[in-house]
Structure 1
Amino acid sequence: MKFHQQPNTFVSHVQLIVEQLERSLSFYQGILGFQILDRTDSTASLTLNEKDALVTLEQPAGVLPKEPRRSGLYHYAILVPDRKELAKVIQHFIDIKYPLQGISDHLVSEALYLADPDGNGIEIYVDRPSEDWEWIGEQVTMSTEQVNLRSLLSEANGERFTGLSSDTIMGHIHLHVSDLAKAAEFYIQGLGFKVVYQISNQALFISTGGYHHHIGLNIWNGKGVQAPSRNSVGLKFYTIVFTDEMTRDSAIKNLALLGYSVNENTVVDPSGNHILLKYQEL
């Protein structure tokens, strides 16, 4: 969890548009164990530690179903504190027969993939100890391998899932973008992230502080894809947290030099993804 605090820049929160708020709450509360932190007629902010909102759900007027082959959310990823917690989550989904999209060993982490009732992608993962990650220069070694599921599930040691741990945090976000070069300019020159892993000309993984990635960017929905409609199911915005106000304001100035305007600390990346820029307050 050291990569999600000062002096690093990281993702802390996502706000999602959903078609039916009550249906979504049944999933997030009943299946994942989130609690409601704040609620209005059309939104619900969800927490695991009773103080920080990790996910906010919104059902806007005139909501549209998820639009295919657009930029936007590939998945958001919630990071559990240890392997036992991931084992309990996986066993829980096996027990309730919830459809999973995959379980992968990425060398730096082990991950479970699924979607919420609206098709918003979710990764639930645990990091391997950072001292075990392999670096070649400034590039971390990642892959997609088969998980040793027997070994992983044995970590639960008979303990049952009763909801995601209160120590669970937002680990990273992975986005569909329309142009990888423009996205790289925005996130690297503008926001100050560094490339730590690349899949040919298809995907970039970027971070601060030597993390394997705080943000993933890919063109797997196609080059030049359009942004989704603002009231369609998917990502409304996500939050990036800087180490302090000076660092955040420096990033805003860098974005301005690149031609991006920041209004009320919110900026839109080249692919139409909206980002709230915050800083850590001591």
Structure 2
Amino acid sequence: MENYKIPAQTRIGHVHLKVSDLEKALDFYHGLLGFEIIQKMGDQAAFISAGGYHHHIGLNTWQSRGADPAPDYAPGLFHTAIVYPTRKSLAEIFVRLREANYKFTGAADHGVSEALYLNDPDENGVELYWDRPKEEWPRSADGKVQMYTRPLNIEDLTAELGEK
């Protein structure tokens, strides 16, 4: 058992979030971020995706309708990370959020990726990012990935769209 390695093709299929108000959650994930509603179960649950997958995110109020956000310093989900296919698509969502005056909690260059951070209406952390090509990842002399956290150059990011 000790030497077991998960298959390289394994991936995270979806995240399912407890939310206090389904419509507010859908306003954020569907209305603002642009996820497609695949199925809605009244005012209790919804399944949303990008590109027609059965669901990337499940949202439900089964145990959480009207509840306060989880405390910051309690075990639980730190954030849901949503990978954008290109740097340009990350720039597009940045501009969309900025134009909507949506509050960012951070932005970072991690060497392997560039990321935007914000919270959904229930204060669940959300990371929006794109991965640099593997051959551009910073590595140590022995070839190990060397991630870091540096400020994201927003001007350079938005230059992808011909903006400043």
TM-score by length of 2: 0.86
Cα 1:61–1:13 change in 2 (3 A) is closer
Q: 1:89 aligns with which of 86, 89, 93?
A: 93
User: Does the aligned pair in 2 maintain the 1:85–1:156 contact within 8 Å?
Assistant: no
Is 1:142–2:143 an aligned residue pair? no
Aligned partner letter, 2:161: A
Q: Which runs of 5+ in 2 are unaligned?
A: 1-6
Report what 2:3 is aligned to. none
User: Does the aligned pair in 1 maintain the 2:115–2:128 contact within 8 Å?
Assistant: yes
Equivalent-residue separation in structure 1 for 2:154 and 2:47 (angstroms) = 33
Deviation of the 1:62 alpha carbon: 5.6
Equivalent-residue separation in structure 2 for 1:8 and 1:50 (angstroms) = 21
Q: Secondary structure at the match of 1:11?
A: coil
Which has a greater percent of strand? 1
User: Does the aligned pair in 2 maintain the 1:46–1:53 contact within 8 Å?
Assistant: yes
Report what 1:67 is aligned to. 70
Equivalent-residue separation in structure 2 for 1:76 and 1:104 (angstroms) = 16
Q: Secondary structure at the match of 1:37?
A: strand
Equivalent-residue separation in structure 1 for 2:89 and 2:52 (angstroms) = 19
Report what 1:256 is aligned to. none
Q: Which runs of 5+ in 1 are unaligned?
A: 1-5, 159-282
Cα 1:139–1:52 change in 2 (3 A) is farther
Equivalent-residue separation in structure 2 for 1:96 and 1:108 (angstroms) = 28
Is 1:111–2:115 an aligned residue pair? yes
Deviation of the 1:130 alpha carbon: 0.4
Once the two structures are superposed, residues 126-180 of structure 1 have per-residue CA deviations (whole angstroms, 9 ceiling, x without a partner) of 111100113334741111111221111010236xxxxxxxxxxxxxxxxxxxxxx
Equivalent-residue separation in structure 1 for 2:64 and 2:113 (angstroms) = 39
The percentage of aligned residue pairs carrying the same residue is: 37
Structure 1 runs of 4+ with >4 Å offset:
none
Equivalent-residue separation in structure 1 for 2:24 and 2:78 (angstroms) = 21
Deviation of the 1:83 alpha carbon: 0.6
Equivalent-residue separation in structure 2 for 1:44 and 1:138 (angstroms) = 43
Q: How many pairs does the alignment contain?
A: 153
Larger RCO (CA under 8 A, 6+ residues apart): 1
Deviation of the 1:9 alpha carbon: 2.1
Deviation of the 1:51 alpha carbon: 2.6
RMSD: 1.7
Q: 2:55 aligns with which of 53, 58, 76?
A: 53
Is 1:11–2:12 an aligned residue pair? yes
